């Protein structure tokens, strides 16, 4: 008997939403979910391990991978390049695992075009204030980088309507339940479009209010 059909699960969110935390929780619950390790030109953060968190590569090597057709998708995000190797999809497909891609909205658009069975999910923060607080609490970015990420968040959140599913990461366990439902082929989490648009407008207004009170951006 052949293995059940799996699919790549694409998660996108504005930086700081809690996507990595949520992905780890899903992985804890479902060992058949495997993280897609991207290639990036970003320098490693403290504690990050090459080959586990990312393949940390030079700009030359990143360019070579694109030229050789090794990437499903790639994008420039916050001033660095990131891309997903095709190899990740091939290997997990062969093993009957779900590949979890933690990629930005530009990457999600490319995957949508190339891997039609992929299921894409946009994760929203419960509020603009929560998003700013989570970004600050993580404490991995300098203040000017933080402000840039928050500014970018407005544009990223505007893309939520393109995604098949939208999940609010308010309470981690609840949001993880929704992701688990998607793996079981249940759960139409898409909010009615007018409600989603109102939600997006509210979040963007809250982020702008926060940026208005934040230190001037030099990034």
For ligand ADP, the binding residues (CB under 6 A) are 13, 15-21, 134, 137-138, 169, 171-172
Rule CB under 6 A: is residue 41 a binding residue for ligand 5GP? no
Minimum distance between the CB of residue 5 and ligand ADP, rounded to whole angstroms?
28
Tokens 């996108």 -> residue? 12
CB of 22 within 8 A of CB of 15? no
Residue among 38, 41, 88, 189 that touches ligand 5GP (CB under 6 A): 38
Stretch that binds ligand 5GP, among 25-33, 74-82, 122-130, 173-181 (CB under 6 A): 74-82
Q: What residue number has its CB nearest to ligand 5GP?
A: 107
Q: How many other CB atoms sit within 10 Å of the CB of residue 194?
A: 8
Stretch that binds ligand 5GP, among 1-9, 59-67, 101-109, 188-196 (CB under 6 A): 101-109
Instruction: Name the residue nearer to ligand 5GP (CB basis): 69 or 194.
Output: 69
Minimum distance between the CB of residue 111 and ligand ADP, rounded to whole angstroms?
18
- Cα distances from 181 to residues 30, 162, 178, 184, 205, in angstroms, run 11, 20, 5, 5, 31
Distance separating the N- and C-terminal Cα atoms of the chain: 55
Rule CB under 6 A: is residue 99 a binding residue for ligand 5GP? no
Helix (H, G, I), strand (E, B) or coil at 40: strand
Helix (H, G, I), strand (E, B) or coil at 37: coil
Rule CB under 6 A: is residue 83 a binding residue for ligand 5GP? yes
Nearest to 8 by CA among 103, 142, 130: 103
Instruction: Name the residue nearer to ligand ADP (CB basis): 132 or 182.
Output: 132
Minimum distance between the CB of residue 166 and ligand ADP, rounded to whole angstroms?
15
CB of 62 within 8 A of CB of 113? no
Residue among 10, 100, 103, 146 that touches ligand 5GP (CB under 6 A): 103
Stretch that binds ligand 5GP, among 2-10, 55-63, 99-107, 207-215 (CB under 6 A): 99-107
Instruction: Name the residue nearer to ligand ADP (CB basis): 63 or 145.
Output: 145
Between residue 106 and residue 125, which ones bind ligand 5GP under the rule CB under 6 A?
106-107
Q: State how far the Cα of 118 lies from the Cα of 175, in Å rounded to an integer.
A: 19
Nearest to 59 by CA among 74, 73, 69: 74
Tokens 């970018």 -> residue? 152
> CB-hemisphere CA count at 13 Å for 158?
9
């Amino acid at each position: 008997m052949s293995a059940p059909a799996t699919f790549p699960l694409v998660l996108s969110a504005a930086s700081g939403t809690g996507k990595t935390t949520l992905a780890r929780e899903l992985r804890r619950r479902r060992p058949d979910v495997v993280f897609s390790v991207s290639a990036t030109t970003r320098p490693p953060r403290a504690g990050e391990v090459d080959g586990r968190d990312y393949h940390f590569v030079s700009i030359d090597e990143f360019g070579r991978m694109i030229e050789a057709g090794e990437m499903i998708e790639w994008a420039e995000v916050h001033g660095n390049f990131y891309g997903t190797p095709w190899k990740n999809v091939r290997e997990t497909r062969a093993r009957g695992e779900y590949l979890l891609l933690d990629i930005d909205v530009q990457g999600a658009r490319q995957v949508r075009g190339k891997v039609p069975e992929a299921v894409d999910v946009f994760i929203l923060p419960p509020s603009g204030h929560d998003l700013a607080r989570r970004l600050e609490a993580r404490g991995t970015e300098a203040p000017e980088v933080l402000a840039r990420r928050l500014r970018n968040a407005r544009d990223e959140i505007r893309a939520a309507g393109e995604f098949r599913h939208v999940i609010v990461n308010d309470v981690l366990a609840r949001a993880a339940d929704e992701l688990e439902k998607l793996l079981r082929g249940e759960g139409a989490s898409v909010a009615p479009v007018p409600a989603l648009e109102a939600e997006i407008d509210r979040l963007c207004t809250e982020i702008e209010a926060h940026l208005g009170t934040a230190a001037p951006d030099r990034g």
